[in-house]
Amino acid sequence: MTSREQSHAAQQAPSVTQAPSVTQAPSVTQAPAGRQAPTVRQVQVTFDCAAPERLARFWCEVLGYEVPPPPEGFASWDAYNLAQPADERDSSFACQDPSGVGPRLYFQRVPEGKAVKNRVHLDVRIATGLVGEERLAALEAECARLLPLGAVRDRLLYDGYDACINMRDIEGNEFCLD
């Protein structure tokens, strides 16, 4: 196991106050040709990035997520970070939905920067069920809240009925207000 994988595993180690790990044993359902296939119960969204904690805290603000408690035996994430080898410090961070419904977000430092458009992106669903001017107003209000956090507005798509706003986070990752 590489040091990055060990760090990733250490942050996923459950404690009494942490949400269940995404590595729980899957249940089994019937698969084609009589084979048993696992049923996924949880997913984690992982971001490759330059500054894991900074990006995680941005997404906490966007989604209303929280930083989980530090691993058992550490009073803070700073204490945990200082206990790591120098080359592993600040290499990863995570945030989670306080209700336990949404996916855990995991951020890992990588040496290369973002070079091309994302193939997958998050849609932040803040105007579900709204249409027309009411939908547009809700999207614009959320956009105005996120801009001071460092988000960047790319463009508005609006046809008089449906709308979304394409944006980028503080490291340039695309997402949509939907």
Q: Which domains does the chain have, with CATH numbers?
A: 42-113 (3.30.720), 122-177 (no CATH)
- 74's CB contacts (< 8 A; 6+ apart) are 80, 83
- 140's CB contacts (< 8 A; 6+ apart) are 165
**What DSSP string describes 51-86?**
-HHHHHHHHHHHHT-BPPPPPTT-SSHHHHHHTS-G
pLDDT band at 21, cuts 50/70/90?
very low
pLDDT of residue 119: 81
**pTM for this prediction:** 0.75
pLDDT of residue 91: 94
Asked if 42 and 25 touch (Cβ cutoff 8 Å), the reply is no
CA-closest candidate to residue 124, choices 149, 91, 161: 149
pLDDT of residue 13: 37
Residue 25 has pLDDT above 50, yes or no: no
pLDDT of residue 31: 54
pLDDT in tens, 118-135: 888 999 999 999 999 999
Residue 166 has pLDDT above 80, yes or no: yes
Residue 175 has pLDDT above 90, yes or no: yes
One-letter amino acid for residue 174 of the chain: E
pLDDT of residue 17: 33
How far is it, in rounded angstroms, from Cα 66 to Cα 97?
6
Asked if 27 and 39 touch (Cβ cutoff 8 Å), the reply is yes
How far, CA to CA in Å, does 11 sit from each of 49, 106, 172?
17, 9, 25
Compute the C-alpha angle 99/59/89, nearest 5°: 105
pLDDT in tens, 62-77: 999 999 999 999 999 9
Asked if 42 and 22 touch (Cβ cutoff 8 Å), the reply is yes
pLDDT band at 12, cuts 50/70/90?
very low
